[in-house]
Structure 1
Amino acid sequence: MNPGSNRSGILLVDKPPGNTSHDVVARTRRLAGTRKVGHAGTLDPLATGLLVLGVNSSTRLLTYVVGLDKEYEAVIRLGASTTTDDSEGDVLEVAPAGAIGGLTDQRITDGLAALTGDVLQRPSSVSAIKVDGKRAYARVRGGETVVLDARAVTISSIDVLGGGPVSAADGSGAAAFWDVSVRVVCSSGTYIRAIARDLGDALGVGGHLTELRRTRIGPFGVAEAHTLETIDADRDLLAPAAVAALLFPTVPFDAAQAADLRNGKWVDLSDAARSGPAPLAAIDPAGLLIGLFEIRGGTARVLVNFPTDATTATETATATDGPAT
């Protein structure tokens, strides 16, 4: 894109390890030539994988992406707990000698099964959740002890992909840890680090996350994402109408209806068999996204409009940055 571009759309980025989500947003702002870039859910610096970014007016679509189900691949290390529930934290406890030898594939599978379904999960203390107006992770980094309330999440499945005992570094051949590779499908708001912590607690050996990769958010897969080194903000921008078609039922509008809807007017749809759950996506004759709407009493009523060009490209998109998995 040229500097100051008003083009709008969605970018899929494969975040590298070591970068924060804010780092990726900042890089994309430069590539896209606009300040108005936001993301639909953070990834920790440790994590890699899919970030869904909105550019210019398409940041409005991110509201509808944040709550979609997600899929992750992760490695859980059993045998030690840490302050952050992942490998970036300080070690709190190490399982006693011989404890890892008592683990079996069946015990691990059963432990993971107990963590699936509609569950109450206590978020990691280094999450981005606010406690009295301050992020939990900021309080922890400041030396405070933070214990967050459990919240309802849905963990649809946890599949074991592989793993096994990890020998001690002293050359004795004894198992010091047990690594478990898993694939997790879950609702928004689920903390994969908390799954590692809770599995370790249930097995009595402690646990933490050593690898995390987000592979899917709703209909968007990491296979379609681009790295920061290869992404072209002009070439790889997904059109708002194409994205809306993945998220909502679409309804075509003629030119007169499109003009009325863009001006915020109610459009009579009583003569057409058009129905569906809100929101619906309105598409104009040129194939452009007009906006999202609902139908009440045979009338289309605007929920949010999407201008064909972003007129507020200098605005900064609001996006929470901080550990979220």
Structure 2
Amino acid sequence: MLSDPVKLPPQGAILFLDKAEGWTSHDAVAKSRRTLGTRKVGHAGTLDPMATGLLVLGAGPATRLLTHLVGLDKTYTTTMRLGITTVTDDREGDRLVTADPAEVARVAADPDRIAQAIARLTGPIEQSPSAVSAIKVDGKRAYDRVRAGEEVELKARPVTIHAFEAGEPKLTQTEDGLSVIDIEATVHCSTGTYIRALARDLGSDLGIGGHLTVLRRTEVGPFSVDGVTTIAELAEGQVRALSTPTSIARVLFPVLEVTADETRDLGHGKRFEVDESRCPDAKLVAAISPDDQLVGLIEIKRGRTRVVTNFPTQGAAA
């Protein structure tokens, strides 16, 4: 029997979840709505059903923070399989091309060649997202167009691969006897990066094709998957911990401790002057009330505040 819904703090909460394979991000949101007792739940970036790892959810008023979490860098651990291309650029898609075993063996015997290809995919790069993705093309999802038999080629976009650390290439065979190279890697990248496309492009550069077989998101910005709520716990109506908007904002942004009067002013969208000794100019600053509530995210420009995102507080409503 499911337990009673978890009681949310007045300003809502951020929930860090370790998504299991086979679950969609939508599945996780739907289950969280039941566990947290609110319809207002969103996420800060999806994970494919095949992928596991850190999914950041917001519930209640805390969903307002998600816009500012989506753009954080991500870190993944992954296994890339070279020698086979697939429709989806991962193991769930139908095979397209298999490389000649002799060529796969030549690539596996030349780790410097692999390292050079990885180096070419590190730093600022132009990446074409996987055709089977949620990106819209003329109002229709790319994956729907592919499933309808259309040829889809998405426009390349700039992303940054901050680090692409690969282990020893392993020459191995698939269950049906095809020669492949498996490479375990850790990738730290900017938001919007498709790790499936990275595996595809690595294989393409080496002339033997490639796709992804394992993907796990381990970090979103400064937040780690270690010790967070699991899908199994969520399914039982349990969460390990909920983070308040204030605690998240203190990690991500400069902080301006505001007075009760300033709390009310920000709640009404009013501007006021801030001395640089209290907080220097910044595009996003967390304004925190005397009772430790996140009043809002504000911009301070030339010493003057401007509300970017407000949060409901008792002080603002007074």
Of 75, 85, 92, which aligns to 1:88? 92
Provide the secondary structure at the position in 2 that maps to 1:258. helix
Task: Verify: 1:123 aligned to 2:126, yes or no.
Answer: no
Whole-Å separation in 2 of the counterparts to 1:262 and 1:132: 40
TM-superposed deviation, 1:256: 1.5
Whole-Å separation in 2 of the counterparts to 1:265 and 1:170: 67
The residue type equivalent to 1:100 in the other structure is: V
Whole-Å separation in 1 of the counterparts to 2:56 and 2:160: 21
Matches for 1:192-207 after TM superposition, within 5 Å = 192-207=195-210
The residue type equivalent to 1:278 in the other structure is: K
Aligned 8 A contact 1:13 1:226 in 2: yes
1:181: which partner in 2?
184
Whole-Å separation in 1 of the counterparts to 2:210 and 2:303: 55
Matches for 1:44-63 after TM superposition, within 5 Å = 44-63=48-67
**Are residues 271 and 47 of structure 1, via their aligned partners in 2, closer, same or farther at CA, if it must alter by over 3 Å?**
closer
Whole-Å separation in 1 of the counterparts to 2:216 and 2:112: 25
Aligned 8 A contact 2:283 2:301 in 1: no
The number of residue pairs the alignment matches comes to 306
Task: Verify: 1:99 aligned to 2:98, yes or no.
Answer: no
TM-superposed deviation, 1:54: 0.8
2:146: which partner in 1?
140
**Are residues 169 and 292 of structure 1, via their aligned partners in 2, closer, same or farther at CA, if it must alter by over 3 Å?**
closer
Aligned 8 A contact 2:85 2:211 in 1: yes
**Alignment deviations for residues 215-243 of structure 1 (CA, whole Å, 9 cap, x no partner):** 11111111142102224666511011000
1:318: which partner in 2?
none
TM-superposed deviation, 1:119: 0.8
More RCO (CA 8 Å, sep 6+): 1
2:115: which partner in 1?
109
Whole-Å separation in 2 of the counterparts to 1:108 and 1:66: 32
Matches for 1:1-325 after TM superposition, within 5 Å = 2=5, 7=10, 8-103=12-107, 104-167=110-173, 169=175, 176-231=179-234, 236-270=241-275, 273-308=278-313
**Are residues 63 and 233 of structure 1, via their aligned partners in 2, closer, same or farther at CA, if it must alter by over 3 Å?**
farther
TM-superposed deviation, 1:296: 3.5
The residue type equivalent to 1:267 in the other structure is: F
**Alignment deviations for residues 278-311 of structure 1 (CA, whole Å, 9 cap, x no partner):** 11110011111000112234332211111148xx
**Alignment deviations for residues 43-99 of structure 1 (CA, whole Å, 9 cap, x no partner):** 101100010111111111111111111111110001110011000000001111312
TM-superposed deviation, 1:147: 0.6
The residue type equivalent to 2:105 in the other structure is: G
Whole-Å separation in 2 of the counterparts to 1:285 and 1:308: 11
Aligned 8 A contact 1:12 1:224 in 2: no
The residue type equivalent to 2:156 in the other structure is: A
Gaps of 5+ in 2: none
**Alignment deviations for residues 167-213 of structure 1 (CA, whole Å, 9 cap, x no partner):** 36577xxx711100000011111110111111111111110000000
Identical counterparts, % of pairs: 49
Gaps of 5+ in 1: 310-325
Provide the secondary structure at the position in 2 that maps to 1:110. helix
Whole-Å separation in 1 of the counterparts to 2:203 and 2:153: 18
